[in-house]
Amino acid sequence: MLPINEVFETIQGEACMTGTPSVFLRLQACPVGCPWCDTKHTWALDPARQVAVADMLAKTDDADTWAAMEVDELLATVQAFRARHVVITGGEPALYDLVPLTTLLIAHSYSVQIETSGTHPIRVHPDTWVTVSPKLDMPGGLPVLPEALARANEVKHPVGKPADVERLLGLDLGRVPRSLIWLQPISQSPKATALCVDEATRHGWRVSIQTHKFLGVR
Ligand code: SF4
């Protein structure tokens, strides 16, 4: 059983998979505590906030309610949408063993991506595309794990100030091609954007733009 906050179809707006029609599965719970997190409603896994699957699927706001779902139930839910790419996000989805879910989705010809902070071991099918967004020195006090960075297919790093880039440079990213290291300006601020463009140019990285926000979709 996995705790699901919401399921919705949109395009993937960030990094390598930008523009890909996707079904997003948002899992509940995250202990990382990023101050600028835009999904704080996913942080707590409060038993009192558990709802029926139908109620979770019907909600239209950023509520902290969640529903427990089996993997075959999740597959059937995904199959009700048209997109063939599934993004497992959170919250922190790596809190959970995602091997059964990713294996089932891939067996049904879906491409699968996970977005994780890198603070937990990543348990997914080997063909899963892993996007690590390393959350360094956050209030939750969790280190970014070398094994998570070693599993990353791409790294997407939120940047608001020069120290954020310095922290990224302190990580061993040797297995990730430079062209798959993305700097993403926090909140699209002009200052952060200019910094990302400058540092991506300097290091041979790329700038990830949250294109879904510019398009006005989720
Ligand atoms: S890891 Fe993600 S969900 Fe968790 S606090 Fe940070 S931004 Fe929010």
Distance 30 CA to ligand 1 centre (A): 6
The answer to whether the CB of 118 falls within 8 A of the CB of 147 is no
Domains annotated for the chain, with CATH where assigned, are: 2-157 (3.20.20.70)
pLDDT digits (tens, 9 = 90+) for 49-108: 999 999 999 999 999 999 999 999 999 999 999 999 999 999 999 999 999 999 999 999
pTM of the complete model? 0.95
In short, whether 10's Cβ falls inside 6 Å of ligand 1 is no
Which H helix or E strand runs over 51? Answer: none
Q: Per-residue pLDDT tens for 10-50?
A: 999 999 999 999 999 999 999 999 998 989 999 999 999 99
Round to the nearest angstrom and report the end-to-end CA distance of the chain.
26
Q: Which atom of ligand 1 is nearest to the CA of 90?
A: 3
Distances in whole angstroms, Cα of residue 206 to Cα of each of 92, 121, 131, 192: 24, 26, 14, 14
Q: Does residue 33 have its Cβ closer than 6 Å to ligand 1?
A: yes
CB distance 34 to ligand 1 below 6 Å:
yes
Helix/strand/coil for 109 = coil
